[in-house]
Chain A
Amino acid sequence: DAGVIQSPRHEVTEMGQEVTLRCKPISGHNSLFWYRQTMMRGLELLIYFNNNVPIDDSGMPEDRFSAKMPNASFSTLKIQPSEPRDSAVYFCASTLGAYGQYFGPGTRLTVT
């Protein structure tokens, strides 16, 4: 298996632009998680899905952030409009039931 796939790996954009991050979980996994990592706050859960349904989005910072999982093999995290404070590494992870999480390589987002 290729593991969790994220794209793009790096994204540089200007403030105010829309940013879309993509994630393909491991086939057969039924839960998907979006995390954000910054130097100041470390790793934080943004949202997670179980069987494609959003279960907990309490970590989503504000209305500028939205996430979707239209099917079991694809999820997006969108930021519109982006701001410099959104600069971070965004990780996607997937898991099957109560087993350990498998992390993607992350997307490094820089908003100028």
Chain B
Amino acid sequence: KNEVEQSPQNLTAQEGEFITINCSYSVGISALHWLQQHPGGGIVSLFMLSSGKKKHGRLIATINIQEKHSSLHITASHPRDSAVYICAVRYPDKLIFGTGTRLQVFP
């Protein structure tokens, strides 16, 4: 069993839809990261959180430490949001990655 599991693996949406990507982990962590990897391959760190909720523009990330679960939400999705979204947990000092969720948003 992977220590970090993401769902769904693939997701398609129409522009404007609300999107949720889930991440569950099985180890005690000090922080959780959400990363975005665009088709060109570059990786951008979206959020790092250890409790509660963070918001940046149309992106919202939440984490429930007791349930070992995090969600990434995208409101009013846009085709430029099409990318692979990767959840990674810091345990104890290094990152363990999920397999990613491939999101495609169509106009």
> Which positions in A face B, CB cutoff 8 Å?
33, 42-45, 48, 50, 55-56, 89, 91, 93, 98-103, 105-106, 108
Chain B residues within an 8 Å CB radius of A98: 30-31
Q: A-side binding surface: helix, strand, loop or mixed?
A: strand
Q: Are A106 and B99 in contact (CB under 8 A)?
A: no
Contact of A45 among B41, B42, B94 (CB under 8 A): B94
Output the nearest chain A residue to B43 by Cβ-Cβ distance.
A103
Using an 8 Å CB-CB cutoff, how does the interface string of B1-39 with A read, 1 for contact, 0 for none? 000000000000000000000000000001101010000
> Which positions in B face A, CB cutoff 8 Å?
30-31, 33, 35, 41-45, 47-48, 86, 88, 93-100
Q: How far is B45's CA from A45's CA once the two chains are assembled, in angstroms?
A: 16
Chain B residues within an 8 Å CB radius of A33: 94-95
Q: Are B48 and A100 in contact (CB under 8 A)?
A: yes
Chain A residues within an 8 Å CB radius of B96: 45
Contact of B86 among A43, A56, A100 (CB under 8 A): A43
